[in-house]
Amino acid sequence: MKRFLALLACCLTIGFVQAQSRSLPDFADLAEKQGAAVVNISTLQTPRGRSGTSPFPLDESDPAFEFFRRFFPKLPGAAPAPREFENRSLGSGFIIGGDGHILTNAHVIEGADEVIVRLTDKREFKARVIGADKRSDVALIKIEASGLPVVRLGNPDKLRVGEWVVAIGSPFGFDNSVTAGIVSAKGRALPQENYVPFIQTDVAINPGNSGGPLFNLAGEVIGINSQIYSRNGGYMGLSFAIPIDVAMDIQQQLRAGGKVNRGRLGVVIQEVSRELAESLGLSRPQGAIVNAVEADGPAAKAGIEAGDVILRFDGKPINASAELPRLVAATPPGTRSIVQVWRKGKLRDLPVVIGKVADDEPATGKAPRGAKAPALASNRLGLVLSELTAEQRREAAIDAGLLIEEVRAPAARADLQAGDIIVAVISRGTTTEVKTVDQFNRLLATFDKGSAITLLIRRGNLQNFVTIRGGNGH
């Protein structure tokens, strides 16, 4: 009996292992078939130093340098001090055209004097940079070759969270390294990255993988590995890839003109929280609320105002604020589009002519400062307020508002800081401008204790909507 039970347990174990092996994907065929189209990219940079060479084996900053220069002007056997040096960086790329067109990351080839591409058969080519787009981190380069193996492109829209994906690249210079994982999220927005809906994975991506392809199990490229989240520069389980459809749109523009033209609306936007939606009279959190409108920009000319919530752009719904910059950027400058906004409890369709994104980034101003007002007692929100002086109003270019002198609980939990200016209070779609501390406190008294209060805040040249719970009062 014992022998039978042992035999049964052994059979069950073998069956379980076989079942597990059948359920796990096999990446061997994918790596073998697609690996040949993945390349290693190295760059050469030659920063220019000071002209001429020194006959002394000392740096010019050394205190003994002047002594040797004056008394031993021709020191025998002294080696010339180097005035130029070379830097090499490593990255990855993949061939999208048999004629030698290759996609990689813009940061891989940035500042390079020379770009070298090495194929899996050990052939090396000097590549020509067709164009690079820093905002999307996509670059297109070309080598003079023909009959090259190319990747097959997939559709990122069909990608599902939890699906297996594979990366091939050159982490730390180890050519054609294969790593696998799953899709963690789609359409991920990253700080300062408004134009790319990143694919988040847990695939092991390390320095040198940048610019390499991300494959689905069908062997199709669905993204370009671009960024990692890391505290120490190594893999931490969070990797981000540029969807291949976004990258292909970019490379088409780079191939046609060497640069990318993006549409712009001329607004500063913010996510709509649940409390903010309640204050504005929306049925649910959706859209992008406009914090500020650029003077004489496309949005201003179309009649879009601060406080409007953009719900649709050219008929496409805006569920999250991060979706709006991508849609606008993908619209050719000069296009006439329809922007649907929610204003004071009503929907409005506004026609707008899309502008063009400039190459330089807009600067942000500093928070207005003025004479320090005497300390005041805080209100039930925990805010110590004072009325703006004439000088402060001129600096902020506003007619009225209240300066936040100090932030205490419960307001300390919100995104408020000393120096911010309260411009208005918003409730149920109604905006009330504030001019005096007494008026603001009377307005607070109309709110139930503990209810959400939305403030329009001015910080430097930007405006922001902040929602606070009303607290318990005094």
Please check whether residue 304 is in contact with residue 339, taking contact to mean a CB–CB distance below 8 angstroms. Answer: yes
- H or E, element range at 164: strand 164-169
Catalytic option among 101, 107, 230, 245 = 107
Structure-token match 């994918």, residue found: 30
Q: Give the three-state DSSP class for 15.
A: helix
Nearest to 102 by CA among 55, 142, 155: 142
Q: What are 389's two structure tokens?
A: 């002086």
CA atoms of 220 and 336, how far apart (whole Å): 36
Catalytic option among 42, 210, 386, 427 = 210
Catalytic option among 133, 137, 308, 420 = 137
Residue 137 is among the residues annotated as catalytic for this protein? yes
Residue 107 is among the residues annotated as catalytic for this protein? yes
Please check whether residue 197 is in contact with residue 188, taking contact to mean a CB–CB distance below 8 angstroms. Answer: yes
Residue 101 is among the residues annotated as catalytic for this protein? no
Q: What are 365's two structure tokens?
A: 């101003």
**Cβ count within 10 A of residue 306:** 18
Q: Where are the alpha helices (DSSP H) in 24-153?
A: 28-34, 65-71, 106-109
**Cβ count within 10 A of residue 263:** 22
Query: How far lies 268's CA from each of 84, 289, 456, in Å?
Result: 45, 8, 13
Catalytic residues: 107, 137, 210
